[in-house]
Structures are given as structure tokens and as C-alpha cells.
Amino acid sequence: MEALEQKIGYTFENKGYLAQALCHSSYANEHRGAGLQSNERLEFLGDSVLGFVTAEFLFQGNPDLPEGDLTRIRAALVCEQSLHEVAQKLELGTHLCLGRGEEAGGGRTRISILADAVEAVFAAVYLDGGRQAASDLIHRVLLDVAPKETMQAKRRDYKTALQELVQRQADQVLTYQMVGEDGPDHDKTFHAEVLLNDAVVGNGCGHSKKEAEQMAAKAALSDME
């Protein structure tokens, strides 16, 4: 635990908060007699803490940006992939408590597990040290080191861009449909395609249906622009 505290730059008064943040539900279920709580409740709180701190950061730092651009940048900053990158830098996977099955299935490197654990750690710091401590941590490991392309408002909403492109001609109809999914329930990958006048013009995949649709639109744009 001390090694992780050094990496995040925060020392806990109540080590129990950090212990809970690192406890995956699979481990808690296998040790029910010990009365352990998983990090799921902390993840819920951490998601809101992260969202608020990020929104405040963008609002104050970009006074001329409209709501739509702020929303897109925030989504890019707090997405699962972004949090996974934070977890990798902190080597968070080595500190997680996982059940035997999750351990054997590669849970220490699973994107969704690591992203959730990052949010749980944010919540743990918030509960232990307050809002400023949590904000300082989020800035230190995410906001202040975010790639420039992530911070730029021109990061595209591919579905909107594709819609605007095809509307330059009359009677153009875009539709999206899910064509498949794979993986376990806790780490599914969705596959989507976008159709222009019933003809497939792009395919994409992602860890949510919305992400899959965005990737399908991105593929279509790369061929049409």
C-alpha cells in the first residue's frame, strides 16, 4: 500500500479506504466471512467526483468554449481508455485484490477493472482527505498530463460530423445497427455498422454501443472525406 501511496502522491489517514478501493467484487465474494466490501460503491462515488472536477477544470480553463465542445472534451478525458492509461502509469493492477477466477482470467490487465479501480481510488482520497485532495490527485495523474489532442475542442463527434457531411445532399438517410457482441458480461465488445441509404459505409467496435457507433462513423468518414 505504501508503494501505491507514493505513486499517487497521497498518504491515507484511514488505510481502510484504500484497501476497499483495491478490493474487486470477485475477491470480496470469495471472502464473505471476512466482511469485506468491494470497490463498487467507491467506483460509483469516484465517477461523480471525477466528473465534477473535470467539468470545473474545463469550465474555468476554457471560457470561450460552448457546452457541446466542453462535453466532448470531458467525455474524452474520463473515458474508460483514459482511466486505463492512468492505471497503467500507477501500476494499479499489481495492487488489486482479485478472486481466483478473475486472477486466472487476466483481471489485473483488464481495461474495465483497472478503469473502475482508478475511480474507486479517487473516491477513497475524497473520503479520506476531502474534495481538494481528490482534485489535486485527479489533476496530478490525469488532467495536468492529458495529451494535447484530448484537450482540443476539435476532438470530433464522428456521428455528428458524418451526419453533417451526408446532409450536403438531399434524401440521405443514416442508420446505425448492432451486428454482434462478444466477451464476458463485465467486459463486452460491441460491433456496429452505419448504413447510408441501406448500404453499409462503415464498421466499428467498442466497449459500449455508443462507442461502437462512433467508431463506425469514424470509419465511414475516413472513406468519404
CATH code of 158-224, in short, is 3.30.160.20
- The DSSP bridge partners found for residue 195 are 175, 200
Q: What would the mean pLDDT of 182-191 be, rounded to a whole number?
A: 83
pLDDT score recorded for residue 154: 45
Indicate the angle between helix axes 80-90 and 111-129, nearest 10 degrees: 70
pLDDT score recorded for residue 149: 63
Cα–Cα separations (whole angstroms), residue 29 to 119, 168, 188: 20, 55, 22
pLDDT score recorded for residue 66: 80
Handedness of CA 115, 120, 121, 122 (dihedral sign): positive
Q: For all residues of the chain together, what is the average pLDDT? A: 91
**Domain segments of the chain: what residues?**
2-151, 158-224
pLDDT score recorded for residue 153: 46
**Lowest mean pLDDT segment, chosen from 67-71, 91-95, 191-195:** 67-71
- 85 in catalytic set: no
pLDDT score recorded for residue 90: 96
Among residues 119, 128, 193, 211, which one is catalytic?
119
Distance from C-alpha of 96 to C-alpha of 27, rounded to nearest angstrom: 9
CATH code of 2-151, in short, is 1.10.1520.10
| Whether the predicted pLDDT of 50 surpasses 90 | yes
Which pLDDT band holds residue 217 (cuts at 50, 70, 90)? very high
Which pLDDT band holds residue 225 (cuts at 50, 70, 90)? low
Q: What would the mean pLDDT of 50-58 be, rounded to a whole number?
A: 96
How do residues 147-182 score in pLDDT, each as one tens digit? 776 776 445 678 988 999 999 888 899 999 999 998
pTM of the model: 0.69
How do residues 132-150 score in pLDDT, each as one tens digit? 999 999 999 999 988 776 7
Phi-psi region for residue 198, left (φ > 0), alpha (ψ -120 to 50) or beta?
Answer: left
% of the chain exceeding 70 in pLDDT: 96
Among residues 47, 136, 157, 187, which one is catalytic?
47
- 119 in catalytic set: yes
DSSP letter string, 147-163: -HHHHSTT---HHHHHH
Question: Which letter does DSSP use for residue 174 in this model?
Answer: E
